[in-house]
Amino acid sequence: MLLNPLTFHAPKTVEEAIELYSTLGEVRLLAGGTFLLNSLKLLKKRGIKTPQHVISLRKISVLQGVKVTGDTLTIGAMTVINDLFSSPHLTDNFAILRTVCRNISTNPIRNMATVGGNLTSRYTWTEMGAPLIALEAVMHFCGTNHTTESITVEDFFKNFAKTEKILTHITIRRDPAAALAYQRVKKLSDVDVPLLAVCIRTHFNDGCFTRTRASINCTTSFAKRDLVLEEFLNGKKTANGIAQEALAHLDTSIYDTRSDDYKKSMFRISIKKAIEDLTRRGQT
Ligand SMILES: Cc1cc2nc3c(=O)[nH]c(=O)nc-3n(C[C@H](O)[C@H](O)[C@H](O)COP(=O)(O)OP(=O)(O)OC[C@H]3O[C@@H](n4cnc5c(N)ncnc54)[C@H](O)[C@@H]3O)c2cc1C
């Protein structure tokens, strides 16, 4: 199916993109296009009006790439998943992102889909949210009149991932002492989308879990922290059996909403595996 006629804009700077975005009516931003183009076709099929203008961010070079400055990792919003995966900068706590990227969909999608599109597309199941919450990542936006705004990924998802601005980049602080574990279960075997994802970050202090962050993507609502689990783990010894014990200390509202028995069971298995993984590392 062909798209409805539209005017395609391809600015080369963020300033130009902001100017267009704030002055044109009926406009949508285009990143990798893996969701947007399909959704415009769906709107057309349903007889719903589609936007007259599309602004592609692809030619804005400052929005692309991964770099490290001092102790901060910066990921441009237009960085495609495969480029993040192969970045040599993914060391220390950043390294968990390689595992996350590797699990996303298929190679053709990973070559087109961007980190920014993954975060801002407002699909509850896309999976960059949980690890970036665990990493205490911050999203940086540019809005009308070139105002900038920074918000933690955690707060962005608390606010239902709503934005009228252009996401320019994401920053994460290096933390060599952090240990992270990521578990993800896929939903289908043919088109790979996640059923759930769990990311736990902790530090070991005197053989105990400290400053733990457990972020969960239940895929039916946006990624969020399980504060009950965090509270249970913090201060506990990294002893065998702690993972099993932790399963009695979960914020059940996250896991029970729109979950069948299979999904609930996979949550428990994933959380247990993540804690066991961290426990092993804490004991060495
Ligand atoms: C078949 C298929 C399988 C997939 N499987 C997975 C999976 O397993 N795991 C997973 O996590 N994801 C998966 N995805 C999602 C994918 O990773 C991308 O997140 C998603 O397709 C959108 O990224 P995009 O760059 O193509 O964005 P686009 O489709 O171009 O844009 C999506 C939306 O985000 C907005 N947007 C994009 N960039 C910005 C920006 N910089 N600032 C403000 N708004 C912006 C656009 O306006 C648009 O509304 C899958 C997608 C497909 C099509």
Q: How confident is the model at residue 20 (pLDDT cuts 50, 70, 90)?
A: very high
At 146 the pLDDT is: 81
Type of residue at 232:
F
Domain spans, the chain:
7-56, 61-173, 179-283
Output the CA 35–ligand 1 centroid distance in Å: 5
Report DSSP letters for 61-85, one per residue. GGGS-EEEETTEEEEETT-BHHHHH
In the predicted model, what is the mean pLDDT of residues 103-132? 96
Q: What band does 173 get if pLDDT is binned at 50, 70 and 90?
A: very high
| Angle of CA points 141, 142, 146, to nearest 5° | 160
Its CATH class, for the domain covering 61-173, is alpha beta
Residue 25's pLDDT is: 86
Cα 252 to middle of ligand 1, angstroms? 29
Q: Which residues line ligand 1 (CB under 6 A)?
A: 28-36, 57, 77, 104-105, 109, 112-114, 116-118, 120-121, 126-127, 163, 166-167, 191-194
Test site for ligand 1: of 109, 186, 187, most ligand atoms within 8 A of the Cβ:
109
- Position 191 confidence tier, pLDDT thresholds 50, 70, 90: confident
pLDDT at 275 over 90: yes
The alpha carbon of 19 and the centre of ligand 1 are apart by a number of angstroms equal to 23
CA of 175 to the centre of ligand 1 (A): 28
Report pLDDT digits (tens) over 192-221: 789 999 999 999 999 999 999 999 999 999
Q: Whose CA is nearest to atom 10 of ligand 1?
A: 126
Q: What are phi and psi for residue 35, nearest 5 degrees?
A: -100, -45
7-56 is classed CATH 3.30.43: yes
Report the alpha-carbon distance of residue 36 to residue 30 in Å, rounded: 7
Using CB atoms within 10 Å of the CB of residue 212, give its burial: 0 to 12 exposed, 13 to 18 middle, 19+ buried. Answer: buried
% the chain with pLDDT above 90 = 94
Topology, domain 179-283:
Enolase-like; domain 1 (3.30.390)
Mutate to test the pocket of ligand 1, among 55, 120, 169 (most ligand atoms within 8 A of CB): 120
Asked whether the predicted pLDDT for residue 188 surpasses 90, the reply is no
Model confidence pLDDT, tens digit, residues 61-72? 999 999 999 999
pLDDT of residue 50: 93
Confidence of residue 144 (pLDDT cuts 50, 70, 90): confident
**254 C-alpha vs ligand 1 centroid, how far in Å?**
24
Pairing state between β 27-30 and 53-56? parallel
Q: Which residue, chain included where needed, has tokens 């009006």?
A: 49
Where does the pLDDT of residue 190 fall: very low under 50, low under 70, confident under 90, or very high at 90 and above?
A: confident
CA–centroid distance, 116 to ligand 1, in Å, is 7
Give the tokens for residue 203. 């530090």
**Mean predicted confidence (pLDDT) in 268-272:** 98
The greatest distance separating any two alpha carbons of the chain, rounded to the nearest whole angstrom, comes to 63
Nearest CA to ligand 1 atom 27: 117
Indicate the average pLDDT of the chain.
96
Q: What is the mean pLDDT of residues 98-126?
A: 96
